[in-house]
Amino acid sequence: MHLVFNPGMFALGVAVGVLGLVLLLSLIIAFAYDERTLLALGAYVSLMVAAVIAGQQFADDTGRVEDLLLVAGPSLLAGLQAWLLKNRHFSTAAKVIIAVVVLASLVLLGLVAGVASPSISQIAALVWGVLLLAFHAYLMQQSWDSAGPWKWWLLFGLLAGLVISVSSLAGWTDTRQPYWPVVLMLLLQVPPIYLSLVWRSRLLNESRLRSFSANVTDPLTGLATTSVLVERLMRVMSRVHQTPGSNALFLIEVQNWQGLLNELGAEFNEKMLLEAAMRLRRTVGDNDLAARISGGHFAVVAQGLQGAEEVNSLATRLVVSGLRIDSPLLQGVEFKFRVIVSLLKNSKPMTLPETHEWLGRMADIFRDWPRSHRNRSILVVTEDQLTNPDSPGGPNGTNGSKGSTNSKRDSIFSFLPPMSR
């Protein structure tokens, strides 16, 4: 048995392999990342290949089906480009150009499908190609600054396919098999367009991720935002009887924040925020949540603490972490952390407004620090003191400072969920 190498069959096998691989990857990524453009590209490849096979099986050898595909392919992808590069509103000029391109494509399809003479079809193909080229150039010019660098791969695929299509329709190329111009057009179109769509999808996903991260992570300090703090607090309170160990909320205030700003200057505000966040992050565990509230106020939600002794130990470490002066960012600067601790052991589930109100009452204690703890940096408050603000030791109790009865004053949580530096 002698093996005979058939270059035409080998090239066709390579083309089928490349298109099949692109189709498979397009469908996988489309379903994995809900990317509709890649799904549309997969549908385009499937329909074109199915049409070529059907044309070979059921049509005559005139190549009319293949010529129709050579017109339909670039026209459909021009619509994809218009959708990808569209502005918020189509201008009148854009609508006119789109209408002209659609009309020219329909006329050329009619001429190819009808009995028009080859010379008329060839001239119509050239006019159609020029119109599509102008359409691509117009869309690129309109989206020059708004579209990302992926647009160049898209343009390369569109132009390469258009060149093959016009060359075949104008009679500039001659092939033994009528399906080869369609296969070559797909080979030059699909891989570059696939790369452009994947690149675009990656950029969009990164943008969405940054937008999502901005809502859950403070962009300056890297700590959690107040909305994440409230969500974690509500979750801990709802599961307090289902989890072992003790849970606690630590509110931290940098007592000498304003003094340091006056001493160092307002331009050190961001460095102070970074330094305070860094010291807190080094103190808490991996499963604890550290959040930035506003200015010199922070919070830590700790779970799984083994009794009051470990709660007090963490509160002490938080206070001590502010006294470190060996930082390269702010050498020799001490933060006088003042910590309010609330055990969440017997807490009941609360709604979002109730959680905001509860945090506000707890934060008011910084402003109305009890006289009995004037020289102390740690204050443990009970749920009774937070539930009944007028109780002894509560925010408005007898141990509070004068003027603490004004409950309408702004709290550091009064602006939830937005944040300010």
Residue 336 contacts residue 377 (beta carbons within 8 Å): yes
Instruction: Give the three-class secondary structure for 217.
Output: strand
What does the pLDDT read at residue 192?
95
Q: What is the pLDDT of residues 73-124, one digit of tens each?
A: 999 999 988 888 875 556 677 788 888 989 989 988 888 887 667 788 889 9
In a shared domain, residues 243 and 381 = yes
Residue 208: inside a domain:
yes
Contacts of 411 (CB under 8 A, 6+ apart): 359, 360, 363, 364
Token digits of residue 179: 């399906």
Token digits of residue 233: 């607090």
Token digits of residue 190: 């699909």
HSE, CB side, 13 Å, CA atoms: give it for residue 343.
17
Instruction: Give the three-class secondary structure for 190.
Output: helix
What does the pLDDT read at residue 244?
67
The torsion angles phi and psi of 258, rounded to 5 degrees, stand at: -65, -35
Tell me the residue ranges of DSSP E strands in 159-233: none
In a shared domain, residues 61 and 205 = yes
In a shared domain, residues 123 and 160 = yes
Residue 103 burial (CB < 10 Å; 0-12/13-18/19+)?
exposed
In a shared domain, residues 212 and 233 = no
pLDDT (tens place) for every residue of the chain, 421 residues total: 454 545 667 777 888 899 999 999 999 998 888 888 999 999 999 999 998 888 877 766 667 888 899 999 999 999 988 888 875 556 677 788 888 989 989 988 888 887 667 788 889 999 999 999 999 998 888 888 778 889 999 999 999 999 999 999 888 887 777 788 899 999 999 999 999 999 999 988 887 777 676 678 888 888 888 888 888 888 888 877 666 677 888 999 998 888 888 888 888 888 888 888 888 888 888 788 899 888 788 999 988 887 788 888 898 999 988 887 677 777 778 888 889 988 877 667 778 888 888 888 888 888 878 777 777 888 888 766 665 555 444 555 544 444 444 444 455 554 444 443 3
In a shared domain, residues 265 and 332 = yes
Residue type, position 242, single letter: Q
As for how many domains the chain has, the answer is: 2
Q: Pick from 216, 244, 276: which residue ends a domain?
A: 216
Residue type, position 409, single letter: R
Instruction: Give the three-class secondary structure for 305.
Output: strand
Residue 52: inside a domain:
yes
Token digits of residue 261: 């700003």
Residue length of the chain: 421
Residue 395: inside a domain:
no
Cα separation, 103 vs 253, whole angstroms: 69
Instruction: Give the three-class secondary structure for 420.
Output: coil
Cα separation, 365 vs 227, whole angstroms: 21
Residue 115: inside a domain:
yes
Token digits of residue 298: 């922070």
In a shared domain, residues 152 and 23 = yes
Maximal C-alpha separation, the chain = 106
Domain containing 233 — which CATH number? Answer: 3.30.70.270
Residue 183: inside a domain:
yes
Question: Which of left, alpha, beta for 223 (phi over 0: left; psi -120 to 50: alpha)?
Answer: beta
In a shared domain, residues 37 and 64 = yes
Number of H helices, E strands in the chain: 13, 5
In a shared domain, residues 199 and 234 = no
Q: Has this prediction a pTM greater than 0.75?
A: no
Q: Pick from 216, 241, 260: which residue ends a domain?
A: 216
Q: Which domain holds residue 93?
A: 9-216
Residue 264 burial (CB < 10 Å; 0-12/13-18/19+)?
middle
Cα separation, 343 vs 250, whole angstroms: 9
Q: What is the pLDDT of residues 25-84, one digit of tens each?
A: 999 998 888 888 999 999 999 999 998 888 877 766 667 888 899 999 999 999 988 888
Q: What's the DSSP call for residue 4?
A: -
CA–centroid distance for 4 within its chain: 54
Residue 414: inside a domain:
no
Residue 405: inside a domain:
no
In a shared domain, residues 268 and 192 = no
In a shared domain, residues 141 and 80 = yes
In a shared domain, residues 239 and 366 = yes
Residue appearing with tokens 């969009």 = 204
In a shared domain, residues 60 and 188 = yes
The torsion angles phi and psi of 343, rounded to 5 degrees, stand at: -75, 135
Cα separation, 224 vs 415, whole angstroms: 16
Residue 3: inside a domain:
no
Residue type, position 9, single letter: M
Query: In 3D, which of 351, 412, 340, 410 has the Cα closest to residue 376?
Result: 340
